[in-house]
Amino acid sequence: MPERVAVTEYSAAKTQTVAQTIVVKVGTSSLTNPETGNLSLSTIATIVEVLSDLRRSGHRVVLVSSGAVGVGCARLGMTERPKTIAVKQAVAAVGQGRLMRVYDDLFTEMKQPIAQVLLTRGDLVERSRYVNVYRTFHELLNLNVIPIVNENDTVAVDELKFGDNDTLSALVASLVDADWLFLMTDVDRLYTANPRTNPDAKPIDVVRNLDELNVDTATGGTQWGTGGMETKIAAARIAMGAGVRTVIMKSDAPGNVLKILAGESIGTRFEPQENPITARQRWIAHGMVPAGKLYLDDGAVEAVRNGGRSFLGAGLMGLEGEFQREDTVRLCNIHGQEIARGLVNYSHTELQKIRGRRSDEISQILGYDGEETVVHRDNLVLMRKALR
Ligand code: GLU
């Protein structure tokens, strides 16, 4: 069990004076009234004030806001979230514009320019598009604009969906090289179980190692949102790996962000990994959508995991999926547990032929010169154990 600590060890002075890149994510349940579906204007206004203050103090701020579907439903008088994709996409188109209008009105009061950035997973898959999105964020932040990000629900197709904005916000935090990711939600922190239904649920203040975290996340999001604690922990995992400190906190007191930056212990804080992965590795690990699986024998697992070596192919026990060269694949042990992810140098049909053979046999089997490695170590990222 992670310990409860009252004081934080990072320097309050440092976090206050050094300009930080801060990503704040707010969910639908925080932005809308669950009974009426109408916008919770006072919460939104407070968030706007806090973010504008942060901007004015020199921080770089990105807001990831859900609510397109929820607000669209309210506008159209729907009483529950639509189930079919086409209706959801149509409703999101209604809601996104309204949401931005409200944000723009409120941020204009604070003289704070904003921008709308709508993303789909496909925008991060291709390296050139990923780099392009990175540049856009960079310029917006240089211009002192607060980008307001949401998934482009109206056009996103299922296989290229982030699915929930917790994941999206972590990917954005990783993309912009953020110092902080604040996941604002309707509970004040992470508990060992759902505090609404389990009186024994204990609060967790700091998480340093997600592999040691033992929580029951069996409750999903609210009727209107799509997240829940599970997606928040998955988001924290992405962010921690990218060197981003992540906090789960309650959205009804957004001013707590300032207190947390000043060193107070509020909410649940996830400490970033000590050796965060590089920008290119982040793209491989989280931007790409894996197209297949390679099953490695124990020797190859050992070489990749502990030796940090390229995967040569001799230890390939089996494969799954239809992938092409340069696609991302999961490298798994024989039990199917993912140990690394990387860009593969051969298609699945080529790999079927060269499976279990030595590197020097490859050109003879294929009839042409291939790469020496199946996945080169420069294109390989070790994955931490997934939360079960
Ligand atoms: N993109 C969705 C929306 O704006 C929300 C996804 C989520 O709830 O995480 O409604």
- Lowest model confidence (mean pLDDT) among 205-219, 253-267, 330-344: 205-219
* Residues near ligand 1 (Cβ within 6 A): 27-28, 66-70, 92, 150-151, 153, 164-165, 225-227
Residue 221 near residue 27, CB atoms below 8 Å: yes
Q: How far is the CA of 132 from the centre of ligand 1 (A)?
A: 24
Which pLDDT tens digit goes with each residue over 71-115? 999 999 998 888 888 999 999 999 999 999 999 999 999 999 999
Residue 55 near residue 61, CB atoms below 8 Å: yes
Atom of ligand 1 nearest to the CA of 150: 1
Three-state secondary structure along 214-262? CCCCCCECCCCCCCEHHHHHHHHHHHHHCCCEEEEEECCCCCHHHHHHC
Strand partners, 32: 39
User: Residue 195 — pLDDT band, cuts 50, 70, 90?
Assistant: confident
What dihedral do alpha carbons 203, 183, 270, 239 form, nearest 10°? 150
Pocket test of ligand 1: the residue of 66, 85, 102, 223 to mutate, having most ligand atoms within 8 Å of its CB, is 66
pLDDT at site 213 = 81
Q: Which H or E run contains 338?
A: strand 338-343
Model confidence at 15: pLDDT above 90: no
pLDDT at site 324 = 92
Atom of ligand 1 nearest to the CA of 70: 10
Pocket test of ligand 1: the residue of 25, 69, 152, 154 to mutate, having most ligand atoms within 8 Å of its CB, is 69
Q: How far is the CA of 349 from the centre of ligand 1 (A)?
A: 38
Domains defined for the chain, CATH in brackets: 7-281 (3.40.1160.10), 290-387 (2.30.130.10)
User: Residue 124 — pLDDT band, cuts 50, 70, 90?
Assistant: confident
Q: How far is the CA of 235 from the centre of ligand 1 (A)?
A: 14
CA distances from 200 to 194, 196, 248, 300, 303 (A): 9, 10, 20, 44, 43
Which pLDDT tens digit goes with each residue over 245-289? 999 999 989 999 999 999 999 999 999 988 778 888 888 888 778
Q: Terminal CA-to-CA distance of the chain, rounded, Å?
A: 15
CA distances from 86 to 83, 104, 157, 226, 245 (A): 9, 27, 10, 17, 36
What are the tokens at 242? Answer: 């990218």
Please say whether the dihedral angle defined by the alpha carbons of residues 80, 189, 180 and 13, taken in this order, is positive or negative: positive
What are the tokens at 127? Answer: 């390296």
pLDDT at site 230 = 85
**Residue 319 C-beta-side C-alpha neighbours within 13 Å:** 27
